[in-house]
Amino acid sequence: MKIAVYSLLDDELEFFQLMEKKYNTKFTFYKHYLNIDNAKEIQGFDSIVVNARDEINSEVLDKLKEYGIKYMSTRSAGYDNIDVDYADKIGIKIANVPSYSPNSVSEFTVLSLLALIKNYNNLIINGYNRNFIRNGLVAKELRNLNIGIIGTGRIGTLTIKHLKGFYPKNIFVYSRTEKDEIKNYAEYVSLDELYKNSDVIIYHIPLSKETKDMVCKDSINKMKKGVYIINVSRGGIVNNEDLLEGLKSGHIGGAALDVYTNEIEYVNKNIKDIVLKDSVIEELFKMKNVIITPHYAFYTDEALLNMVTTSIDNIFEFMNTGKCINKIIKS
């Protein structure tokens, strides 16, 4: 079987090599993203493996159909970059990796929260510059803060459990469905109540029509003055212009963004001497109360192993049975 792997990261290679041995085959690797401009490369392959940054729109899917590809797999949980409904319409089956390591993202969320309230990013930068003045870097204690968490899936649930050990003042949770397990650690409240009472708001939700631009001028105005915002889910949840305005006005006290709408411009790239087209993120880069990381929360050895092995297993399950336990169902 001929399989093309797109958006390969160097750190993934050893895990793909394990799967080559498992299935006695060889993959063809591409480090660039798949989009309509390079879709002709697909010709001659039986299947493809992508990730969350490949652009799998209707045009690309038409090319897949034209070249006889029936199955594909994304080595990610999210798939908002894939036109799943159109794929289903033209008979292409797609699978994802629904859970590769929720703990990795949850741990990084806690790290981001602590870094924000402890000014840790600024301490590190100052230390590299041999500046050890503490003035202006007064930290906050987690036990005095109300934490709001939006979303109680696998990752959100773990974050709640992890944070409970820090004994925050309260943990407020908003989700469309309630779990009895969560009630042992946190209090379910309405979204407006969460906005009104939380000192920190953490987003653990997928990107959808309902959640796009969830952090916007209207919602920010409902939040406590000085609120910290943490987004480790999808960049599209935040309206970047409104976030910037909230930071400039002081209504938002700080933000940790591991994801960003136009992150394809900088993720996994060295942009030290490059000015990005996105003027908003260029301003965010300069703010001392903003932490921007390169979609890194998931990036552990366990997560990479699970993402690669599951995505390849998905392809062979499709090929051998016509079905897959991780098949994405159209919306």
Instruction: Note the pLDDT tens digit of each residue in 36-77.
Output: 999 999 999 999 999 988 999 999 999 999 999 999 999 998
Token pair recorded at residue 179: 């779990």
Q: What is the largest CA-CA distance in the chain?
A: 64
pLDDT at residue number 330: 72
- Residue 297 near residue 265, CB atoms below 8 Å: no
The DSSP output letter for 110 is: H
Has residue 100 got a pLDDT over 90?
no
Q: In terms of domains, do 21 and 141 share one?
A: no
* 145-189 pLDDT tens trace: 999 999 999 999 999 999 999 999 999 999 999 999 999 999 999
Query: Count of domains in the chain?
Result: 2
Helix pair angle (102-117, 120-128), 10° resolution: 70
Domain that residue 265 falls in: 102-292
Q: In terms of domains, do 56 and 197 share one?
A: no
pLDDT at residue number 264: 83
Please work out, in degrees rounded to the nearest 5, the angle formed at the alpha carbon of residue 193 by the alpha carbons of 190 and 198. 125
Q: In terms of domains, do 162 and 308 share one?
A: no
Q: In terms of domains, do 33 and 157 share one?
A: no
Residue-by-residue DSSP string for 278-300: -HHHHHHHT-TTEEE-SS-TT-S
Q: In terms of domains, do 219 and 109 share one?
A: yes
* 193-238 pLDDT tens trace: 999 999 999 999 999 899 999 999 999 999 999 999 999 999 999 9
In terms of pLDDT, which residue wins out, 267 or 114?
114
Q: Which amino acids are annotated catalytic?
A: 234, 263, 295
Determine what percent of the chain is predicted with pLDDT higher than 90. 92
Q: In terms of domains, do 262 and 119 share one?
A: yes
The CATH number given to whatever domain includes residue 173 is 3.40.50.720
- Residue 232 near residue 297, CB atoms below 8 Å: yes
